[in-house]
Structure 1
Amino acid sequence: MKPYDTFDAIDAFTASASAFECLTGTLAGPQATALAHHELEELVAIRGREVLRLLLQDHFDLRAAREREKIQQRSRTAATEVVRGADGLVRPHREPGHSRQLACLFGTVTVTRTAWRQKGLGNVYPADVELSLPAGRHSFGLRRLAVLEAVRGSYDQAKAAIEGRCGKVLGKRQAEQLVIAAAMDVDDFYRCTIPLPSTTSTTLVIQVDGKGIVMRPEALRPATLKAHLNGQHALRTRLAPGEKPHRKRMATLACVFDADPAPRRPHDVIAPPEGRNALSRTPRPGPRAHRKWLTASLLHPPEQVIATAFDQATARDRDHLRDWVVLVDGARHQLALIQAEADRRGLKVHILLDFVHVSEYVWDAAHCFHKPGTPAAEAWVAGHLTTILHGQADRVATEITAQADRAALRGNRREGVNACVRYLTGHLGQLRYDTALKAGWPIATGAIEGACRHIVGDRLDITGARWGLTGAEAIHKLRTLTTNNDLDTYWTFHLTREHKRLHTAPGQHTYDLTA
């Protein structure tokens, strides 16, 4: 085949070249001299975007002309071109001039190509395969921008940001649909991703927590929906203290990260009851998380999210040569699911309760004996937390109970003490902080608490938001993806999968594509 004429290719860009010359003429004219810099910026942004749109439009027109020329050359040489669809059947008839609209980063362009047809069969467009065009109207570049903006703020804000950059190419409902479609390969992506290994001395940490999200009624779980519809409230116009509207669905979040051991002593975590003085040594720093990986789901049950976190941990330490530490806030169902998953895999894991949650129970007990905000309450808490850090939580429970008995605390005055004692005695196996500090393990769930605020609170818990199930799940996945710094790699993976789904070669439906 002869190479394309260079001059014909240049002539194809006449429209974009003319628009560029018009823009430069405007900037060189006397009217532009009177404009302030911000007005010049706006002028160049709007008309420059039109130049870029025309450049893309001219290129598509050039490709359409070359496609027609290629078909004509084959006709003159009597060469037979066989075009088959994904079903493997031949489309012998061709019909040029089929066009479709494509909304992209620079505006809307028209893609013209030749259709290969056969009566009773769907059309085949070879140019669509070469361009890897999407099924819908919006380009993949525009879809990626929609994802970036939608995971950052509300859909109204995303629409406004996209409109300011690209023009009126995308509506709010369309943005939501594109985001949902963009998240469809996240689970497969992580199943195909192999993390880098670490040394056997590096601690492998798993943290799990839950966060409620306000949902539309149809997206609630059956039990929650029943309580929402049948709830009896004491007041007609508002909720009374302690009442719940039953509008939330719990999302489960899990975090996996590596941490180099950082041995400490109790006084590195809690200052002595008498406080630190200038002669005291500097507290040793705790272990720092690195190579953090997050997962979250509103759609899947907690046991599946926990299993996914264990899959990630197993990928990092297949032979289980490292210390596995699991940190939770003490929720019974989470503890049961974590232990069940470890038993199912035959793994030995060290389960610890978040020390911050433990300290809150001790503070509540302190307020049963001392006024809030007093040095006496602070010293009381410091002493008992130090004992707990030494691995003697049972002793603290006994001492608090004895003190409450001596003070003859009853009823509401003893409620904080009873709650603290129940918490400590019910989780003695997960309060071995002496072992954890000696081994240099983390003892707090800061990573997953921060993830709950960032992944859920900052986006899904914005004022007035009411979520559907698929939309909230997509935002969950994409926010964890961006937090893991995997969006660029995932987008390449997603486009490969999308091309396979849309432009399957003849016979390709008989086998699958691996990543």
Structure 2
Amino acid sequence: MEPYDAAVRADEFATSRNLFDLLIAELAAPAADELTHAGLEELCERRGRAVLRQLLQDHLDLRALREEARLSADHPAGRLERGHHRLLATVVGTVTVRRCAIRTPGARNRYLADEQLALPAGRHSHGLAKLAVVEAVRGSFDAAHAAITDRCGPVIGKRQIADLVVTAAADVEAFYAARTPTPRTAEELLVLGLDGKGVVMRPEGLRPASRKAAAAHRRRFRTRLASGEKPHRKRMATLAAVHDAVPAPRRPHDVISLTGRSGERPVRKGPTASGKWVYGSVIEPACTVIARAFDQAQARDPVHTRPWVVLVDGDLHQIALVREQAARRGVAVHIVCDLIHVIEYCWRGARCLHTADDPAAEQRVAAWALGLLAGNTGQVIDDMKTQAATLPADRRDGLTAAIRYLSGHREFLCYDHALEQGWPIATGVIEGTARHLVGDRLEITGARWGLAGADAVLKLRAIISNGDLDAYFAYHLDREQYRLRQARHQDRYALTT
């Protein structure tokens, strides 16, 4: 028995074949011999995109004919309506999807073709949405629009790219909640790093306190900010990183040397991060982001057999939130203040005692740092107090700040124990995360962000940094189709009381 569509199958791809034959003829013509390789590339890319678009269009037209023949036999004439169509912008160009509508009294039209093709709710295909995400989180939206137009033709606008990015970030939290990380050995460290970084926002994206301060601010100069003056236009993004590391015991002189390295004694290296996972949000409060970092750590060590080390920059509110999460989950955490941050306070103190170009300042900072690494925090504080007593009151500010910081964070400065156990003592991973997630994209020149756009770009950059883009997009598309099916069929059910 012959298939019902045998008559149309032979000619359905005739247009695609004609375009392909024209491309072959153009490449075979003598005039093509005059083209450079760059010209040939451009010709094949431009004409090849037209062939691919036509192939997709011809296939969709064939499916429409088959669907109409199939549904005509199964549905009465009053229930089947032909001639419906919608546009679909894809990575090879814009095509038209023709389909039949199944009509039901008191309900919306049902389009079986939309369900079989898993079409999105909007005009842009999932492949185009993924391309928009990749380009938009890499550089500006203008650059993303130019790159997509150059590759796919005029299929999308700049505003639509921004909308697709926001939509694409909707399932990041659920995606990571559903994933199980690779198990590690009990001897490996589980390291959490936390940080905050400001993002320049449009006025409506600021927190109430910042918006109020910005409205009340009166600039002293018309053309620039005065010393110490803040424009109040940033909103703090909270960032978290979780990674694994093999312990690497060290000595204080492996970290800092007073006399420089002679090369006679090999320097022990610190622990190396592996399995890095990063996350950030400009909308979620710090407590939520820290909870998500603890969720990730909990998934890596559900029975709490590994040492948990939390690296912070000394923010007491952040430390309180860490302790709250640890107590809630019943896990012992070791909180360590970032050594680089501590050394900056030592430099502030040294500048009170030395001129800006005095080499002795570096030696004094190194001596204080070695004292801290050896566990002699009390002696370092006492030495700073002694030095401060010899200075006039108006020159003690740096030393006073250093003494206050070291005294207030003394319990988190047990570097001797951290080095002996092989723990990391610096927040290089989270600092690098802050530069990559925020600095390299959200802080590009002239950028001012809306709340939804900034949060979406931040989370999607984290997804890409974690190497999860393909897995996430597959998960996101499944969720999108589920939500779309729910919306399409919700009027088929009646609620009862």
- Asked if structure 2 preserves the Cα contact closer than 8 Å seen for 1:264 and 1:286, the reply is yes
Q: CA deviation at 1:447?
A: 0.6
**Matching residue of 1:86:** none
Structure 1 position 449 matched with structure 2 position 431: yes
TM-score using structure 2 length: 0.95
Residues 118-172 of structure 1 deviation map (CA, whole Å, 9 limit, x = unaligned)? 3442110001111000111110000000000001000000000000000000100
Q: 1:440 aligns with which of 415, 419, 422?
A: 422
- Asked if structure 2 preserves the Cα contact closer than 8 Å seen for 1:16 and 1:51, the reply is yes
Q: 1:297 aligns with which of 247, 271, 281?
A: 281
Q: Distance in 1 between matches of 2:292 and 2:424?
A: 21
Could you list the runs of 5+ residues in structure 2 that have no partner in the other structure?
none
Q: CA deviation at 1:449?
A: 0.4
Q: 1:109 aligns with which of 91, 95, 102?
A: 95
Q: 1:392 aligns with which of 352, 359, 376?
A: 376
Structure 1 position 246 matched with structure 2 position 228: no
Structure 1 position 13 matched with structure 2 position 4: no
1:170-319, aligned counterparts within 5 Å? 170-271=156-257, 273-279=258-264, 281-319=265-303
Structure 1 position 459 matched with structure 2 position 441: yes
Q: 1:341 aligns with which of 325, 330, 354?
A: 325
Residues 85-114 of structure 1 deviation map (CA, whole Å, 9 limit, x = unaligned)? xxxxxx970011211110000111011011
Q: CA deviation at 1:232?
A: 2.5
Structure 1 position 331 matched with structure 2 position 345: no
Q: Distance in 2 between matches of 1:506 and 1:185?
A: 22
**Matching residue of 1:410:** 392
Q: 1:2 to 1:197 in 2, by over 3 A?
A: farther
**Matching residue of 1:431:** 413
Q: Distance in 2 between matches of 1:462 and 1:368?
A: 36
Structure 1 position 375 matched with structure 2 position 322: no
Q: Distance in 1 between matches of 2:367 and 2:131?
A: 54
Q: CA deviation at 1:334?
A: 1.0
- Asked if structure 1 preserves the Cα contact closer than 8 Å seen for 2:107 and 2:492, the reply is no
* AA at the equivalent of 2:375: G
Structure 1 position 468 matched with structure 2 position 453: no
Partner SS for 1:503:
helix
Residues 289-320 of structure 1 deviation map (CA, whole Å, 9 limit, x = unaligned)? 00010110111100010011011111111111
- Asked if structure 2 preserves the Cα contact closer than 8 Å seen for 1:195 and 1:315, the reply is yes
- Asked if structure 2 preserves the Cα contact closer than 8 Å seen for 1:257 and 1:289, the reply is yes
Partner SS for 1:209:
strand
Q: Distance in 1 between matches of 2:485 and 2:21?
A: 39
**Matching residue of 2:152:** 166
Structure 1 position 500 matched with structure 2 position 482: yes
**Matching residue of 1:70:** 70
Q: CA deviation at 1:439?
A: 0.5
Partner SS for 1:497:
helix
* AA at the equivalent of 2:367: G
**Matching residue of 1:482:** 464
* AA at the equivalent of 1:268: D
Q: Distance in 2 between matches of 1:55 and 1:135?
A: 23
Q: Distance in 2 between matches of 1:175 and 1:324?
A: 40
* AA at the equivalent of 1:469: L
Q: 1:2 to 1:489 in 2, by over 3 A?
A: farther
Q: CA deviation at 1:375?
A: 3.1
Structure 1 position 352 matched with structure 2 position 336: yes
Q: Distance in 1 between matches of 2:438 and 2:375?
A: 34
Q: Distance in 2 between matches of 1:118 and 1:293?
A: 49
Select between 262-271 and 334-343 the one with higher mean Cα deviation.
Answer: 334-343
* AA at the equivalent of 2:98: T
- Asked if structure 2 preserves the Cα contact closer than 8 Å seen for 1:92 and 1:118, the reply is no
- Asked if structure 2 preserves the Cα contact closer than 8 Å seen for 1:208 and 1:328, the reply is yes
Partner SS for 2:35:
coil
Q: Distance in 2 between matches of 1:121 and 1:507?
A: 10
**Matching residue of 1:31:** 31
Q: Distance in 2 between matches of 1:243 and 1:54?
A: 59
- Asked if structure 2 preserves the Cα contact closer than 8 Å seen for 1:102 and 1:108, the reply is yes
**Matching residue of 1:87:** none
Between the aligned residues of both structures, percent identity stands at 54
Q: 1:507 to 1:220 in 2, by over 3 A?
A: closer
Q: Distance in 2 between matches of 1:503 and 1:294?
A: 32
- Asked if structure 2 preserves the Cα contact closer than 8 Å seen for 1:132 and 1:503, the reply is no
Q: CA deviation at 1:255?
A: 0.4
Could you list the runs of 5+ residues in structure 1 that have no partner in the other structure?
75-79, 83-90, 511-515
Residues 218-258 of structure 1 deviation map (CA, whole Å, 9 limit, x = unaligned)? 11000100000011332233221001010000000000111
Q: 1:429 to 1:15 in 2, by over 3 A?
A: same
**Matching residue of 1:122:** 108
